[in-house]
Amino acid sequence: MANSYDLIVIGGGPGGYAAAIKAAQLGMSVACIEKRVGKKGPALGGTCLNVGCIPSKALLDSSHKYTEAQHDFATHGIGVEKVSFDLVKMMDRKDKIVTQLTGGIEQLFKANGVTWLQGHGKLLAGKKVQVKDTDGNEKTYDAKNVILASGSEPIDIPVAPQDGTHIVSSTGALEFSEVPKRLGVIGAGIIGLELGSVWSRLGAQVTVIEAQEALLPMVDGQVRKEVQKLLKKQNLTIHLGAKVSKAKVDGDVVKVAYTDAKGEQTAEFDKLIVAVGRKVNTDNLFGEGLELTMAERGMVQVDESCRTSIDGVYAIGDLVRGPWLAHKATEEGIVAVEVIAGHKAAMNYDAIPSVIYIHPEVAWVGLTEEAAKENGYDVKTGSFSFAANGRALAANDSNGSVKVVSDVKTDRILGVHIVGPQASEIIMQAVIAIEFAASTEDLQLVCFGHPSLSESLHEAVLAVDNKAIHAAPKRKR
């Protein structure tokens, strides 16, 4: 095994492993350091593949199919008696998917000639990297370039100390051995709502406690209101403007005290998930004597090409500015490697999609109507309901709508916001449009296939200029 590399990547998550593979494809000698040990041994893939995006989506899909069989099959004329689920099989399926994908990355490393250094990586002065393995052995390597991609981890709050059994993080919420009758969730963000949805579908009585006054404040206001109504219909109880003051385990019960507009409140749960956000994972990441400029919340300061204040050292993903999303980290890793290779590379942070995988899904890209106005744009908007979309009606999945926000002056599309079936897929059409600076008229002139869910995006774009075919025109002021 070599003692020096053209590039050493610290972190084997979506950003780190993609950067390592790309660098190897460009002819560099590459090592990637990853310390994670999963159920079946050391594992690549970071939080996303092991205890985040992938396992949660596996459970979301399984639980949604169960809900469909219970409530929706009859609409299609399909009779199913005594619908049941096997939680052990659900969990086993989830674990197999994780193993398949993480093992796949290991095979990609071998195929591309990337060296996997198992252990904890630490950046030292002079672009040296120390690796400490699981047995405590240390070895130092030299690198011409280093990419920091150590990611983030769930926040543990003092008022709700986790015991790993009754009070858990998002990781623990993916491992319940049985469905809790009463489930509490602290935090109504993306993670909290997704996990709450999984267990609600399987029979848990779910209560979400959120400190902020508005649900999903980063989502467009019109879409946010629609999401809140849909979640209420799904029997998720959400308390907004509610601050938890204490949560403690008493026997097999979690007792929670919180304060809202009505005063002091109490609640009891069988399980409590703490999903209040994440923090950068920089524990023992830096050695002494590093002249590394840091940013807010413990993040690393970087320029538009992910360069840090140390020549030859880059940082990506959750360590740096921008949304903490796996696909954002991946693209930043690619950009950093291209820059290292001497190529021109850039990333458009205005064209990064966000998705919440509840049902119906919520997805958006670009500016909300509120943000566009705050930034000085004179905006025009158009919306279209899936209730008027033939494909959605045929699938008995017609809740939600598409909203388009455009600039009056230039006609450029500023943002697209969707709540509805397959929003995570439809939004990519909007991402491409924004990436290529498309105008509203550009999409209006595109021929969309019929019947398709994507026609709702077309109708929403037409509605921006009061041209929608399958919706009543706006009233003139």
| Residues known to be catalytic | 450
Amino acid at 84: S
* DSSP string for 42-104: E--SHHHHHHSHHHHHHHHHHHHHHHHHHHTGGGGT----S----HHHHHHHHHHHHHHHHHH
From residue 460, alpha-carbon distances to 265, 351, 391, 409 in Å are 43, 19, 16, 19
Structure tokens at 143: 């690198």
Angle at 234 between CA 230 and CA 240, to 5 degrees: 70
Q: Which are the contacts of 135, defined by CB distance < 8 A and separation ≥ 6?
A: none
Closest CA to 305 of 339, 282, 329: 339
Q: Which are the contacts of 158, defined by CB distance < 8 A and separation ≥ 6?
A: none
From residue 58, alpha-carbon distances to 61, 89, 189 in Å are 5, 12, 19
From residue 471, alpha-carbon distances to 119, 238, 452, 466 in Å are 58, 33, 16, 9
Phi, psi (5° rounding) for residue 313? -115, 130
Angle subtended by helix axes 14-25 and 87-112, to nearest 10? 30
